[in-house]
Amino acid sequence: MPLLLDFKVTNFLLWAVGAVIGVGAFASRTLRARCVALGRAVRLPGVGERVLILGSGVLAGELMEAMKARGSRWTIVGVIPEVRSVGPAPPYPVMGSLEDLDLIVGKVRPHRIVVALDERRGRLPVGPLLQSRVRGVAVEEGVEFYERLMRRLAIDALNPSALIFSDGFQRRRVAGFVGRGMSLFLSALGIAVTAPLWPLIALAIRLDSRGPVVFRQERVGRGGRKFGLLKFRTMLTEGANGSSWVRDNTARITRTGSFLRWSHLDELPQLINVLRGDMNLVGPRPHPVSNFELFSARIPFYALRAAIRPGVTGWAQVRYRYANTLEEESEKMRYDLYYIKHRSLWFDLRILVRTARILLMGLRPEREVAERSPAVPHTTKVRAA
C-alpha cells in the first residue's frame, strides 16, 4: 500500500511538473508572439520580417520604396531580378537569377517572398516557391502585398482577372441598405444642424458678387448617369469660359469663395444631392462630365468608379491631396478602387471620422506632403466652382 501511494504521488508530481512546463512554454510562446506583434506595430528597430523580392520592375521598385519609407518593420534581404529587367539596379543585394531561388532561400532565410515579376510566363519558379511554403516561408503576390501595405491598388500592375476573381468588389444587400440609410440620416442631420448658416452664406455671396447663390455643375454618377452637383458659388460668373482646369479658374475665385473653400462650407449643398439619391456621404468623388472621356481613356479601370454612388468625401480625399495633374488623378484612382473593393459600414465610419478630423482640426490628408507625384504638363480639374 505505501508503495502504491508513493507511485501515485510520484505520478501526480510528474504530471504537475509537466503541466507547469507545458503551460509555461505556451505562455512564453504567446508572450513572445505578442511582443513581436507589438514590436511590429510600433516598428521597433530590429523587429520585423526578412523579405526577398522576386522582380526588379516598376511594381518591385514601388514596394522597395514603400518598405523603406516605413522604417524597420521589414528588412529587404535581397532582390532577384527578372531576365529582362529595365531601369537602374535596385539599392539592395542582387541575388543571382530566378533559377537559383532554392539556393538563395537557403542562404538568406527570408520570412516572406514577394513575387513582383512584370512577366511570369515561363519565368515563375513554381517548384522552389512551393518548397519554400512547405518550409514555412510566406509567399505573397506583389500586387496583394502592395495593396495591404499601401491601402490602395497597384492599378498599373493589375490584370483584369485579378479583379474579376477577387473576393472584394462585393457588398451584401443588407450592408448596402444600412449604409444608404446612414447617409440619408447624417445628411438630414447635417442640413438641420447647419441650417442657420445657409442664409448667412447666401447673403455673403450676394454682397460679394453678382450671380446665383448655388452653383450647379454636371457630374458623372453611378452607372455613368449625369446629375447636377450643387455647391455654394465661389467664383465670378463674369468671364466664365466653362474651363475645367484649376489654372483657368483661380483668378475668378471671390473673397467669400476663398473662405468657403478653405472651410469646405461650399460643399454643404451636396447634402441635398445625397437626399436626392445622386450621392452617398462616402464614395469616390464625382468627376465633371468634361473630364470623363479623358480619364476613361488614360486611367486604367476608371469605369469601375461608376459601379457605386459617388460621395461627398472618400478614401482618396482623406489619404491624398487634391489632384492637379492627370498623374495625380491616377494616383487617387488607386485609393478609390481600394475603397470600392473593401467598402463596408465600418470603413465608411472610419472615413467619416477622418474627414471630421481634417475639417475640425485643419489636418491635411495623410499623404499630401509625404508623397509628391512629379508634375506633368497637363492639369486636371479637382475643385470646381
Write out pLDDT tens, residues 152-169.
Answer: 988 877 777 667 666 666
- Pairing type for strands 214-220 and 226-232 reads antiparallel
In this prediction, residue 30 carries a pLDDT of 52
Residue 337 class from Cβ within 10 Å (0-12 exposed, 13-18 middle, 19+ buried)? buried
The mean pLDDT value of the chain amounts to 78
pTM comes to 0.74
Sign, Cα dihedral of 167, 172, 178, 179: positive
pLDDT in tens, 289-339: 888 888 888 888 888 888 899 999 999 999 887 777 788 888 899 999 999
Neighbouring residues of 45: CB distance < 8 A, sequence distance ≥ 6 = 71, 72
Query: For residue 80, what is the enclosing H or E element?
Result: strand 74-80
* Surface-to-core class of residue 251, CB atoms within 10 Å of its CB (0-12 exposed, 13-18 middle, 19+ buried): exposed
**pLDDT tens digits for range 195-233:** 999 999 999 999 998 889 999 999 999 988 999 999 999
